[in-house]
Amino acid sequence: MTSTDAAFKDLLRVEKLAVEYPGKGFRAKPFRALSDINISIGQGETLGLVGESGSGKTTLGRAVLGLAPVTGGKVIFEGNDISQATRKERRKLSRDLQVVFQDPYTSLNPALEIGDILAEPLSVQGKSPAEAKKRVRELLDQVGLPADAISRLPREFSGGQRQRVAIARALALSPKLIVCDEPVSALDLSTQAVVLDLFLQIQRDTGVSYLFVSHDLDVVRHISHRVAVMYRGGIVEQGPADVVTRNPEHPYTQRLLLASPVPDPDRQEQRRADRHRLLEQQRQQNEQAAVLA
């Protein structure tokens, strides 16, 4: 997605966020998963959050959703600090703050028909059965699924179709922000492209914002206005998507870019060599830092 300098009105701000988990074992020190995280997402904007496994990107998404323990800093949504929101307050927030998980099958109840899955959040918010049924049909149409999907089970759909159902469920209450946690990583490349285009179309139609978590720079380049790169629980680089994903400044982001495969064998071989060089430089820097410490 082309990034612009146009200002988005802040919807979400994360300020100096820290997340710690209790250590394993007697007197074990707590494990700090996130440190000093600062990001913002505007209304109608997508922030791509990229990093390798263990970088902390999923933990950041969970902290925004209230699923990870915030031990420092703030998560500010529409001007309100929600970092320590109660369960009752979280239920109210669910109207405006939703999530799409990585696995489109395990995130759906296999025993429920699609119509019941989509109607559930509507019923919790007090919608009548008639209102819920009407909204479910609108959602199926919005994500490009046939009307008869309402009476079918999740196992009757492909992976891409199941992810469409998960997206429809997230859209049910017309949220303002959706946390997308690796929502296309379990799909094949052609299906990924279709689902990403669906996310983009939904954003154009509704103005919803996304925190889009992915390990793939090519994916975040396609869908994001801005990108933040995570490494070892911190953000090492952020900026416009085109800049960060094509001409990164930080060595870690450069390594991520070089890890993406290209069809040309000669270029691919050169990329491997360049990535190995950056890894060796990082190893030497880590050794020097350990000696100085």
Beta pairing, strands 177-181 & 31-42: unpaired
Contacts of residue 140, Cβ cutoff 8 Å, sequence gap at least 6: 114, 118, 146, 147, 149, 150, 168
The single residue listed with the structure tokens 């085109």 is 242
| Helical (H) or strand (E) element with 288 | helix 265-292
Beta pairing, strands 46-50 & 209-214: parallel
CB 99 within 8 A of CB 179: yes
Contacts of residue 142, Cβ cutoff 8 Å, sequence gap at least 6: 168, 171, 202, 205
**293 residues of the chain, pLDDT tens digit each:** 644 444 567 899 999 999 999 888 778 888 999 999 999 999 999 999 999 999 999 999 999 999 999 999 999 999 999 999 999 999 899 999 999 998 877 889 999 999 999 999 999 888 999 999 999 999 999 999 999 999 999 999 999 999 999 999 999 999 999 999 999 988 888 899 999 999 999 999 999 999 999 998 889 999 999 999 999 999 999 999 999 988 999 988 988 887 766 555 656 566 666 556 666 666 666 666 565 55
Cβ atoms within 10 Å, residue 284: 10
3-state secondary structure 194-217: HHHHHHHHHHHHHCCEEEEEECCH
- The mean pLDDT of the chain is 88
